[in-house]
Amino acid sequence: MTRIAIVGTGFGGIGAAVRLLQDGERDLVLFERSDDVGGVWRDNTYPGAACDVASHLYSFSFAPTGRWSRRFAPQAEIHAYLRRVAADFGVLPNVRLRTEVLSAEWDGGQWQLALSDGSSYSCDVLVAACGQLSRPSRPLTPGLDDFAGTTFHSAEWDHGHDLTGRRLAVLGTGASAIQFVPEVAKVAAHVTVLQRSAPHVIPKPDREYGPATQRALDRWPALLQLDRLRTFCANETRSLGFNTEPRLMAVLESRFARHLESAVPDPALRAKVTPSDPMGCKRILQSNDWYPTLQLPHVDLVTSPIARVVPEGVLTADGALHEADTLILGTGFAATELLAPMEVTGRGGIRLSQAWARGAEAYLGTSVHGFPNLFLLYGPNTNLGHSSIVLMLESQIGYLRDAVRRLRAGGTIEVREDVQRDYNRRLQRRLSGTVFAGGCRSWYLDASGRNTQNWPGTTLEFRARTRRLRAEHHVILPARERVPA
């Protein structure tokens, strides 16, 4: 039995463990289904993988570092950073690798966990830090299993499959595809990119941090903090266009249109890559290589819908066969299926999947009524369109720390049903006035069209709301009063 169990070892899990250890909580364990820590930055090893938030802000406030090679760090450096934080702050001895939590059930006083090795585990507090981008989404494309060549998802990159001289077909033009397509196009004989809808792709203000810059940032931490603050303020002001007054996005839309016209001189190709959705309705992407790559003679952008996959390649609705020997799925993640495939059962035998049948929701993205002592990190409606998710995670971790302190003598904490209901009603009303409600189809929305992903405000507002746990919004019972199973 353990006092605190954490599921996942990405930014959320490692950050929570560090802060809880600093609070003196030694009786905790982190369950990780893989053979290393790092979450999404461990798994996504495709060529060109990098962050689209500046590194000085996409890092923990309690573990700043100037040792980034670029302003927007590549995947390997972010993974190494997470491993280093876990080691330096004493988290690694508490991690159980190659152990997946299959299910969690509340028995009235504790959480009972079923693990992938066939064993069970008990804990007083359960922290689900599974993330929203941990499960690759495989498209329901007819004939996908009929393909005679090699198929893999970008999040499960087949590094043993040499792409040199290959004919590639890429499904998707999202955040991963715009990073790996320019890289694979350098070695492939031919690349066919199959686009469902054109994304907004803006220049990436990336630059190299040479050894002298890295030494200066390490030697004078104030410089690092100043750049972090500058980046934070610049990003925070973007919330105005995303969340407060979507009409302000017209300024960025105009800037994008001028960039597109200069970057893609061919009118026919420019028409193909011109988005039809309002800017910001889907994730805005950053790349300096995407548009140049699409203009290479051995790269084709196909906008005709996919009819089916056949053994020889991809057949589109216009009757064209796009031959390929390798199929790469750049089709994103099942972001709205939070916590899956882990099955979580709360009070009265209700499953979290049942409670979320009409759309995932939580109070401050962290607590769910009917599930005592359960805390979610990167839970419903904590995603951002304008800044770093690490800021949101640290705010949630602050809320978690307050809850854990109140539970030191045992007992339970559970958000009130009316508080959760009213909070989410207001949240959805606010979302209806944001750029995310522009009518496009995106991974922010579940099957019913409900936005279960995004936070409709600034990170400062979220930090203020999670600064402390408000007792009047919860049912807090001492250890002697068991909550019914």
Mean pLDDT (the chain) is 95
User: Is the distance from CB of 354 to CB of 346 less than 8 angstroms?
Assistant: no
Residues 6+ apart with CB under 8 A from 298: 185, 188, 189, 190, 191
The pLDDT, as a whole number, for residue 333 is 83
CA 455 from centre of chain: 13
341: cis peptide before it, omega within 30°? yes
Regarding predicted confidence, which is higher, 440 or 55? 55
Picking from 404, 339, 430, 413, the residue whose alpha carbon sits closest to that of residue 373 is 413
Region 416-428: mean pLDDT is 97
Residues 6+ apart with CB under 8 A from 454: 381, 383, 384, 385, 431, 434, 436, 444
Q: Encoding tokens for residue 384? A: 């951002």
Count other C-beta atoms under 10 Å from residue 226's C-beta: 13
Amino acid at 75: Q
Q: Has residue 133 got a pLDDT over 80?
A: no
Express each pLDDT in 343-354 by its tens digit: 999 999 999 999
Q: Has residue 106 got a pLDDT over 70?
A: yes
Domain segments of the chain as ranges: 2-135+334-477, 144-199+283-329
The pLDDT, as a whole number, for residue 448 is 84
Express each pLDDT in 375-392 by its tens digit: 999 999 999 999 999 999
Amino acid at 418: D
240: phi then psi, degrees, rounded to nearest 5: -60, -45
Cα(97)–Cα(37) distance, rounded to whole angstroms?
A: 8
Cα(124)–Cα(373) distance, rounded to whole angstroms?
A: 7
Regarding predicted confidence, which is higher, 81 or 447? 81
Question: What percent of the chain shows pLDDT beyond 90?
Answer: 88
Q: Has residue 447 got a pLDDT over 90?
A: no
Q: How far apart are the first and last CA of the chain?
A: 18
Express each pLDDT in 269-320 by its tens digit: 999 999 999 999 999 999 999 999 999 999 999 999 999 999 999 999 999 9
The pLDDT, as a whole number, for residue 247 is 87
Region 256-267: mean pLDDT is 96
Cα(210)–Cα(162) distance, rounded to whole angstroms?
A: 32
Q: Answer yes or no: same fold for 2-135+334-477 and 144-199+283-329.
A: yes
Q: Has residue 1 got a pLDDT over 80?
A: no
The pLDDT, as a whole number, for residue 334 is 78
Question: What percent of the chain shows pLDDT beyond 70?
Answer: 98
The pLDDT, as a whole number, for residue 484 is 61
The pLDDT, as a whole number, for residue 480 is 65
The pLDDT, as a whole number, for residue 88 is 98
Place 341 in a pLDDT band, splitting at 50, 70 and 90.
confident
Q: Is 341 helix (H, G, I), strand (E, B) or coil?
A: coil
User: The domain at 2-135+334-477 falls in which architecture?
Assistant: 3-Layer(bba) Sandwich (3.50)
Question: Per this entry, what is the length of the chain?
Answer: 485
Q: Has residue 485 got a pLDDT over 70?
A: no
The pLDDT, as a whole number, for residue 274 is 97
Domain 144-199+283-329 has CATH 3.50.50.60: yes
Per-residue buried b or exposed e for 145-171, using 16+ beta carbons within 10 Å of the residue's own CB: eebebbbbbbbebeeeeebeebbbbbb
The pLDDT, as a whole number, for residue 135 is 80
Cα(109)–Cα(212) distance, rounded to whole angstroms?
A: 55
Picking from 127, 131, 130, 63, the residue whose alpha carbon sits closest to that of residue 401 is 127
